């Protein structure tokens, strides 16, 4: 059993997203909020899989995503925690 597929894979666009598609997705999310990802392609006219829309929002378009290098303070914290805790998580 299990969950049905998110889309029928026929006519679904693959590859890089265009700025127009990004704008459509951002506009829809601003109006309706994130959630019910299966409705996004149908309601926006995007020819993308609902999973693709969710991942695009989560990993690239969502406000608050920090891009770029670590700040000096963040880097010092990482080094301090590594010295304090070691690789315990990796040893589990």
CATH code, domain carrying 30: 1.10.10.60
Cβ contacts of 11 within 8 Å, gap of 6 or more: 47
Q: What is the pLDDT at residue 22?
A: 96
Residue 57 lies in a domain: yes
Model pLDDT for residues 17-45, shown as the tens digit of each residue: 999 999 999 999 999 999 889 999 999 99
Residue 49 lies in a domain: yes
Residue 92 lies in a domain: no
**In terms of residue numbers, what domain contains 45?**
19-67
Residue 75 lies in a domain: no
Burial of 40 from C-beta contacts in 10 A (0-12 / 13-18 / 19+): buried
Residue 39 lies in a domain: yes
Residue 12 lies in a domain: no
Evaluate if pTM is beyond 0.85. Answer: no
Q: How many domains would you assign to the chain?
A: 1
Q: What is the pLDDT at residue 73?
A: 96
């Amino acid at each position: 059993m299990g969950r049905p597929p998110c889309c029928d894979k026929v006519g679904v666009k693959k590859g890089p997203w265009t700025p127009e598609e990004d704008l459509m997705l951002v506009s829809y999310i601003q109006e309706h909020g994130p959630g019910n990802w299966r409705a996004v392609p149908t309601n926006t006219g995007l020819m993308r899989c609902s999973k693709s829309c969710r991942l695009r929002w989560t990993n690239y378009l969502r406000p608050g995503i920090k891009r770029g290098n670590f700040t000096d303070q963040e880097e010092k914290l990482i080094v301090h925690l590594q010295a304090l805790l070691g690789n315990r998580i990796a040893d589990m």
